[in-house]
Amino acid sequence: MAFINENYLKLQGSYLFSEIARKVREYKEDNPNAPIIRMGIGDVTKPLVPEVVKAMHLAVDEMAVASSFRGYGPEQGYDFLLNAIVTNDYKKRGIEIGTDEVFVSDGAKSDTGNIGDILGTDNIVAVTDPVYPVYVDTNVMAGRAGEFVNNLWNKLIYIPCTAENNFIPEIPKQKFDIVYLCYPNNPTGTTLTKAQLKTWVDYAIENKVLIMFDGAYEAFITEDDVPHSIYEIEGAKQVAIEFRSFSKTAGFTGTRCAYTVVPKELMGYTKTGEKVPLNKLWNRRHTTKFNGVPYVIQRAAEACYSEQGSLEVKNVISYYMKNAKIIKDGLEAQGLKVMGGVNSPYIWIKTPKGMNSWGFFDYLLKELNIVGTPGVGFGPSGEGYLRLTSFNTLENTIEAVERLKKISL
Ligand code: PLP
């Protein structure tokens, strides 16, 4: 008899996106000609840039010839990509990261989920609220979240990020061992300054807390005082794992490539207090359970760093950020309170007239034919907010903002 991991039975249904899909479907059935604009999408829409496609083609041709064919590659990633990462994403920002501290993977979703494999199930985990749901659900699977009571996991520590605290997470008073920080944030689009992030790093050093820093939206940063990497903060290598992804940076959501940095000086602890380098454990986990990102894809990722490639990739980001500005400016002109959209493709709107998230969602769908994402779907502190994204076309974005002008406050 095979016993199951019963934690899986505790998982809540992915109510959010199925409920959105149901509501949109039903509305379309009743209003087949409604010109719906989808502003809820968390996926990129622009194709891969030419330099990336060129690199992929060349790599495919290499795979077709015996002399340049590649079979299994190093699980951690090819040196050409590891070198491009440490040089461009770190050295150029004055950060020294060794290639043996970088692990190339098929996604930040997999890595932020899988990282729990090397951590004990008794750890107390803190998450910002609202939150990217993967951090929560993967801790539920591992048994670290406890039971779901009154819409909350009773072993998780929720750190509310709302207009009341200007979306700046306060360090919890209770003891915790692990915290997930995602900046620029999904879903709120907010960021932390270097000084704000430093308070977390200092606290983590002092209290032996492990920070999971998700930088999936790093490429969207436009302001100077926003750290691109947690390792810009002194001492962060002692306490933080950093997750990065080519998904939003370069349109790799369907192509799949990301990486995780586990510094060698970062320690975990045994029950008896012995220090163990997490790099060693993650290397073992990664090489045992993962066989590397395809050569063709790693060449594509490498191309994002060439002079021409990075220019092309930046142009796409600028396109999305132009959309973000149009949305943000348009909504603010309407008198709405809006977060994000400056260093992030996400715009987080405080619902007008005290509407709840789903009420505002329904209003936008039915009155303006715009689909957003109800904030409450990202956690209890998301109630009273709604997320729009800048991943639609410029034309649709302009049209959506025109419609949003009809919101009567
Ligand atoms: N981290 C955050 C905060 C995200 O919003 C997403 C995707 O939406 C991911 C990670 C997933 O990235 P990847 O496509 O590399 O798995």
**pLDDT digit string (tens) for 345-386?**
999 999 999 999 999 999 999 999 999 999 999 999 999 999
Tell the residue nearest (CA) to atom 5 of ligand 1: 186
Q: At the topology level of CATH, where does 54-305 sit?
A: Aspartate Aminotransferase; domain 2 (3.40.640)
Out of 9-13, 195-199, 218-222, 342-346, least confident range: 9-13
Question: Nearest-CA neighbor of 138 among 18, 315, 11?
Answer: 11
CATH 3.90.1150.10 fits 14-43+310-404, yes or no: yes
CA–centroid distance for 15 within its chain: 20
Tell me how far the alpha carbon of residue 108 lies from the centroid of ligand 1, in angstroms: 5
Tell the residue nearest (CA) to atom 1 of ligand 1: 216
pLDDT at 407: 84
For ligand 1, whether the C-beta of 109 sits within 6 Å is yes
Q: Is residue 15 very low, low, confident or very high in pLDDT (cuts 50, 70, 90)?
A: confident
Tell the residue nearest (CA) to atom 8 of ligand 1: 42
pLDDT: is 61 or 12 the higher one? 61
Q: Is residue 297 very low, low, confident or very high in pLDDT (cuts 50, 70, 90)?
A: very high
Q: DSSP state, 404?
A: H
Phi, psi of 179 (to 5 degrees): -135, 140
- Verify cis geometry, omega within 30 degrees of 0, for the bond prior to 50: no
Domains of the chain, by residue range, sit at: 14-43+310-404, 54-305
pLDDT at 321: 98
For ligand 1, whether the C-beta of 344 sits within 6 Å is no
**Which tens digits make up the pLDDT trace of 53-109?**
999 999 999 999 999 999 999 999 999 999 999 999 999 999 999 999 999 999 999
pLDDT at 16: 86
pLDDT at 126 over 90: yes
Tell me how far the alpha carbon of residue 399 lies from the centroid of ligand 1, in angstroms: 28
Rounded CA-CA distance 164/172 in Å is: 16
pLDDT at 272 over 90: yes
Q: Is residue 48 classed exposed, middle or buried when 0-12, 13-18 and 19+ CB atoms within 10 A define those classes? A: buried
Residues 6 or more apart whose Cβ sits within 8 Å of residue 76? 82, 100, 102, 103, 104, 283, 286, 287, 292
Give helix 50-63 / helix 295-303 axis angle, nearest 10°. 150
Average pLDDT, the chain: 97
pLDDT at 14 over 90: no
For ligand 1, whether the C-beta of 247 sits within 6 Å is yes
pLDDT at 408 over 80: no
- Verify cis geometry, omega within 30 degrees of 0, for the bond prior to 277: no
pLDDT at 409: 64
Tell me how far the alpha carbon of residue 274 lies from the centroid of ligand 1, in angstroms: 33
